[in-house]
Amino acid sequence: MQEILNEIAEFMSENTDRGKVADYIPELATINPNQFGISVALPNGQVFSAGCAQQLFSIQSISKVFSLTLALGKIGDRVWTKVGREPSGDPFNSIVQLEHEHGKPRNPFINAGAIAIVDAIMMGHEPKESLAEILQFVRYIANDDSVGIDEKVAMSELASGHRNSSLAHFMASFNRIEHQIDKLLGVYYHQCSISMSCEQLAKSGLFLVSDGVNQSTGSRVVSSHRARRINSLMMMCGHYDGSGEFAFRVGLPGKSGVGGGILAIAPGKASIAVWSPGLDKIGNSKLGTLALEMLVQRTGWSVF
């Protein structure tokens, strides 16, 4: 495994076609695109890494997997009255479907869906409490209390978040939002601004590898039934309108973020985190996807 990862990292360091860093969030536009990291966490607790796998980055939409897991724990299947579970085929920040579908987001991973999930998590709590709960949960599944939030990124998102405000107000116009929108978005932006390294992120996905149990710590996070469902959503919706392409090339449940990270789950085998800040046109890490494609070719880990 170490040899495979070294080869992938070496290949990526020479690659000049790295995509473009997200610039609609000014703070992310400052990140050096010439970085690449990869970590593979195994259920037995072993972690293999190459490249800058200890470098912290903004996990952005990867956090939506964790907030969905938390919301399912809090309100169970009532989550599905708030969001659907179909791929959207539209960009992550699109508003068009919301009008046709009366303000109910297609799935929990597009921005509108993730905002609705935060609304469910808040359930009358103050933003600080809800944020603390989300962060605590991420620390628990990563088995790492040092995981934190990059306040600069959160502030940068807040200052440039007209699109997300529009999504939230539009949903509210259908009476689908229960909290004050500035408070709701404050929690959402801070959740997206959680900073993690590839190593931390790979470890945090271990509960999805082994039917809901993080075998390296022995803690059950969700039921096996729920772990399967979260994986299915990652497969179908985790890369927005690039989900089909990701399934075609990589063949694993995966979730991307505009910070350039991807968390991918090889059920029964490994949790994998990759990071390279340059994105393709859809907003998914260009070299991250390529690295996962190479890894799966070498290991045969595709679920297909």
Place of tokens 């999504």: 167
Binding mask 210-249 for ligand GLN (x = CB under 6 A): ----------------------------------------
**In the bound complex, what is the minimum distance in angstroms from residue 163's beta carbon to ligand GLN?**
7
Q: Which CB atom, from 164 or from 271, has the smaller least distance to ligand GLN?
A: 164
Q: Write the CB contacts of 241 (distance below 8 Å, at least 6 apart in sequence).
A: 88, 89, 90, 91, 282
Q: Which CB atom, from 258 or from 273, has the smaller least distance to ligand GLN?
A: 258
Determine which one of 118, 197, 216, 240 is catalytic: 240
**In the bound complex, what is the minimum distance in angstroms from residue 227's beta carbon to ligand GLN?**
23
Determine which one of 83, 147, 187, 258 is catalytic: 258
To the query of whether residue 64 is one of the catalytic residues in this protein, the response is yes
Q: Which residues ranging from 255 to 284 are in contact with ligand GLN (CB under 6 A)?
A: 257-258, 283
Determine which one of 39, 61, 63, 130 is catalytic: 61
To the query of whether residue 203 is one of the catalytic residues in this protein, the response is no
End-to-end CA distance of the chain: 21
Site for ligand GLN contains 92 (CB under 6 A)? yes
**In the bound complex, what is the minimum distance in angstroms from residue 60's beta carbon to ligand GLN?**
3
**In the bound complex, what is the minimum distance in angstroms from residue 4's beta carbon to ligand GLN?**
27
Where does residue 139 rank: exposed (0-12), middle (13-18), buried (19+ CB within 10 A)? Answer: middle
Residue whose beta carbon is closest to ligand GLN: 61
| Strand ranges inside 206-268, DSSP E | 213-214, 219-220, 254-256, 261-266
Site for ligand GLN contains 186 (CB under 6 A)? no
240: left (phi over 0), alpha (psi -120 to 50) or beta: left
Binding mask 187-206 for ligand GLN (x = CB under 6 A): -----x--------------
What is the four-CA torsion angle of 76, 77, 83, 88, rounded to 10 degrees?
A: 110
**In the bound complex, what is the minimum distance in angstroms from residue 289's beta carbon to ligand GLN?**
14
Locate 69 and state its tokens.
Answer: 């897991």
182: left (phi over 0), alpha (psi -120 to 50) or beta: alpha
H or E segment and range at residue 97: helix 96-100
| Under 8 Å between Cβ of 111 and 89 | no
Q: Which CB atom, from 39 or from 111, has the smaller least distance to ligand GLN?
A: 111
To the query of whether residue 188 is one of the catalytic residues in this protein, the response is yes
Instruction: Give catalytic residues, as residue numbers.
Output: 61, 64, 188, 240, 258
